[in-house]
Amino acid sequence: MNIADGNGKATEAYRRRFFEIARGSALECAAAQDILEVYGALAAEKNNEAKHMIDRIVAMLTKLGQRGYSTREELSGYGANKIDSDSDSDSDPEGASGD
């Protein structure tokens, strides 16, 4: 959520701040995994596999937190390219004719 929130911020400083918060959250996940392993709720092998993934996530978030990096998505994935052809202010359900 912090990644999405940060990417929506208008200034680079705010984006970096949210990416850094997300990085901290990823590191907290690694600590939680260690606790689960100690209490026998997570096998050591599974913890090591997950730690590898967290290492990659932290590396990506570190890079995103540096100046000039941000994520971008195509608006079409959110239905932004759909046109509501009738004149009212609401969006019509898919397939509605507006008549």
Helix ranges, 8-87 (H): 12-38, 44-64
Query: Is the distance from CB of 2 to CB of 22 less than 8 angstroms?
Result: yes
Mean of the per-residue pLDDT values of the chain = 78
Tell me if 51 is assigned to some domain: yes
pLDDT one-digit tens code per residue, 44-53: 999 999 999 9
What one-character DSSP code corresponds to residue 79? T
Q: Give, in degrees to the nearest 5, the angle at Cα 86 between 85 and 92.
A: 85
Tell me if 60 is assigned to some domain: yes
Residue 13: CB atoms within 10 A of its CB come to: 9
Tell me if 85 is assigned to some domain: no
CB contact set of 90 (below 8 Å; sequence gap of 6+): 84
Residue 61 structural domain: 2-67
| pLDDT confidence bin for 36, thresholds 50/70/90 | very high
For residues 6-21, give the mean pLDDT.
81
Question: Quick one: which of 96, 21, 9, 92 has its CA closest to 62?
Answer: 21
Query: Is the distance from CB of 15 to CB of 9 less than 8 angstroms?
Result: yes
Most confident of 5-9, 25-29, 95-99: 25-29
Tell me if 79 is assigned to some domain: no
Tell me if 38 is assigned to some domain: yes
Overall number of domains in the chain: 1
Most confident of 2-16, 61-75, 84-98: 2-16
